[in-house]
Amino acid sequence: MDLLLQLLASGVVTGGIYALVAVGFVIVYKATGVINFATGELMMLGAFFAYTAMTAARAPFALALLLAVLAAAGLGALVERVVLRPLLGQRAISVIMVTIGLSSIFKGLAQMIWSGEYRSFPPIFPRAPLVLGPVILPARQVWPFAIALLAILVVGLGFRFTRTGTAMRATADDQQAAYAMGIDIRRVFSLSWSLAAVTAAVAGVVVGTIGGISPQLGAIGLRMFPVVILGGLDSIPGALLGGVAIGVLENLAGGYLDPLLEGGGVKEVVPFAALVAILMIRPYGLFGTREVERL
């Protein structure tokens, strides 16, 4: 029973971080119809920005996080302007491949700048673990989770209540109508990429503080797919729920099934098995919009 609770708890913690990345992913998809395969690499770069600020410039953690967020926002806008905009409205294959190409560039650049070595953040959070009855959560998981939740909350509220957020939702809803109402669609596209890069950067920093960083950190981006497919590619509440569900599923599978198989790796594969099942039953996810095609 204790094992179950422990697994559930760490599943929720992982899920919170997944949810944060998934929110950025969904924002880009809603606004521009692009599936961002470079999400993981944006996480990795964000983590390295913060790491560099902390080690080279000896900035305190909060400042480093802020710097990483700003740098990521700039990078997101740049990527949108230079790479994505020329491909607006192109076939699915082009849009997929261009983000894959980007991820390869980012990975290579990171390795050139920071080398392939594995690094860990200087200690940041207080060490006292959080004790909830039988479940003990180490501090290095609780704090990241709290940061992830806070970031989701900020993005969610901003999306709901600010003028820019409203413009972004309007664009996602109906691009032509939004354009006719005087919303600058191009600015919305660029903002959504910035926002996606920012959420990825925060998630990257948070993941980095848990397990250290290296240019290979980006591989985690693949795990976004089960999350966003479960929730629906264009649903923010879906991203939250999907994140937590996949986080929990992954940890349960890792805890109970992994010891049974000598090869291991169940933790990585189970979310994808779930993904296939979801696609077969409900291709548009739990909360996604059902696409209706007309000729």
Partner 1 sequence: MLIGNYQETYRSDEALLRTPAVRGWMAALLALALLFPFVAGDYLLYLANLMGVLAIAALGLNILTGFTGQISLGHAAFMGVGGFGAAFLASRLSLPFWLAVPAGGAMACLAGVVVGVPSLRIKGLYLAIATLAAQVIAEWVFVNWTSATGGIRGLNVPPARLLGLSLDTDFKVYFLVQAAAAAHVWFAANLLRTRWGRAFVAVRDRDIAAELIGVPLFRTKILSFMVSSWYAGIAGGLWAYFVKVVTPENFPLSLSIQLLAMVIVGGLGSIKGTLFGAAFMTLVPEALKLLVGALRAVWPGAQAYLFPMRDVVFGALIVAFLIFEPHGLAEVWNRIKRFFALWPFEK
Residues that bind partner 1 (CB under 8 A): 35, 83, 86-87, 90-94, 96-98, 100-112, 115-116, 215, 222, 225-226, 229, 233, 261-263, 265, 268-269, 272-273, 275-276, 279-280, 283, 293, 295
Query: Between 73 and 227, whose beta carbon lies closer to partner 1?
Result: 227
Query: Between 114 and 179, whose beta carbon lies closer to partner 1?
Result: 114
Query: Between 90 and 162, whose beta carbon lies closer to partner 1?
Result: 90
Locate tokens 């909830």: which residue?
A: 132
CB of 22 to partner 1, least distance (A): 13
- Amino acid at position 134, single letter: P
Give Cα 137 to chain centroid, integer Å.
22
CB of 282 to partner 1, least distance (A): 10
| Closest alpha carbon to 13 in 227, 244, 242 | 244
Give the number of other Cβ atoms within 10 Å of residue 128's Cβ: 9
Query: Between 115 and 162, whose beta carbon lies closer to partner 1?
Result: 115
Measured at the CA of 104, the angle between CA 101 and CA 110, to 5 degrees, comes to 140
Query: Between 60 and 101, whose beta carbon lies closer to partner 1?
Result: 101
173's tokens: 């809803």
CB of 2 to partner 1, least distance (A): 29
CB of 231 to partner 1, least distance (A): 13
Output the CA–CA distances (angstroms, integers) from residue 285 to 90, 162, 271, in the order listed: 24, 28, 14
| Closest alpha carbon to 247 in 45, 30, 35, 22 | 22
